[in-house]
Copies of this chain bind each other. A is one copy, B any other.
Amino acid sequence: MYGAARAKVLRFQAGDTGQWSIECVAAVKGGTLAPAARLAVESSLSGSMSSDRGAVWTLTGFVSNARYSTAAELKRMSSVSPQLGRPEATCAALIPIKKTPAWWALGQDERRAIFEERSGHIRKAMNYVPEVARQLHHSRDLGEPFDFLTWFEFAPEHQAAFDAMLAELRATEEWHYVEREVDVRLSRLT
């Protein structure tokens, strides 16, 4: 339906197939997602629709431009961010989040102030960036059940650091605007 030319739309499909083993599905806030054995991550345009058969759940989102980062923050972040797909990064997390209507009714200045000036989302995450690779997918504009699907990859020895980062972020003012969050932990098969 949508052009494949430039859009980077990814589909996260839980079921019996896929390159990632689902280790744990935990509801952080609001309703959880059903358990499943495997997760397949693929371009929403590459997979045939028949692959939806047997899916326990499917979440879709697109990679887009940064919505809050300043030029200086983008530059600092990109200079230290690892790529996805590092051989040693055999652990992953998929964290779908839905924010409240109150969040979406705020102005850009208010959202930025909460996100960074008061919650330090970027500067807190930056401390963990050399170890944790991250890709954000936007879902809200597709009418999906979540607003964001963030995908993280890291080596097993960095799991404690990753958990510490999540704890730091979840304690911020920004998270008052999260009404649903699920934490899906995965490990790469072979």
Mark A residues whose CB is within 8 Å of B. Answer: 1-7, 9, 44, 60, 62, 64-74, 104, 106-110, 112, 138, 140-145
How many angstroms between the C-alpha atoms of A49 and B140 in the bound complex?
23
| Chain B residues with CB under 8 A of A69 | 107-108
Q: Which 9 pairs show the lowest CB-CB distances between chains A and B? A: A7-B143, A71-B107, A3-B143, A70-B109, A2-B142, A70-B107, A62-B141, A6-B143, A64-B141
Least Cβ–Cβ distance between A112 and chain B, in angstroms:
7
Least Cβ–Cβ distance between A44 and chain B, in angstroms:
8
Q: Is the CB of B68 within 8 A of A9?
A: no
| Chain B residues with CB under 8 A of A64 | 140-141
Supplied contacts A3-B144, A7-B140, A65-B104, 8 more A-B pairs, CB within 8 Å: A2-B143, A5-B145, A6-B140, A6-B143, A7-B141, A7-B144, A67-B67, A108-B108
Least Cβ–Cβ distance between A167 and chain B, in angstroms:
27
Q: Is the CB of A110 within 8 A of B71?
A: yes
Q: A9-B143, A138-B141, A141-B141 are in contact. Are A107 and B73 (CB under 8 A)?
A: yes
| Chain B residues with CB under 8 A of A7 | 140-144
| Chain B residues with CB under 8 A of A4 | 143
How many angstroms between the C-alpha atoms of A62 and B65 in the bound complex?
16
Chain B: which residue is nearest A138 at the CB level? B141
How many angstroms between the C-alpha atoms of A70 and B71 in the bound complex?
19
| Chain B residues with CB under 8 A of A143 | 2-7, 9
Q: Is the CB of B107 within 8 A of A112?
A: no
Q: Is the CB of A109 within 8 A of B3?
A: no
Least Cβ–Cβ distance between A77 and chain B, in angstroms:
11
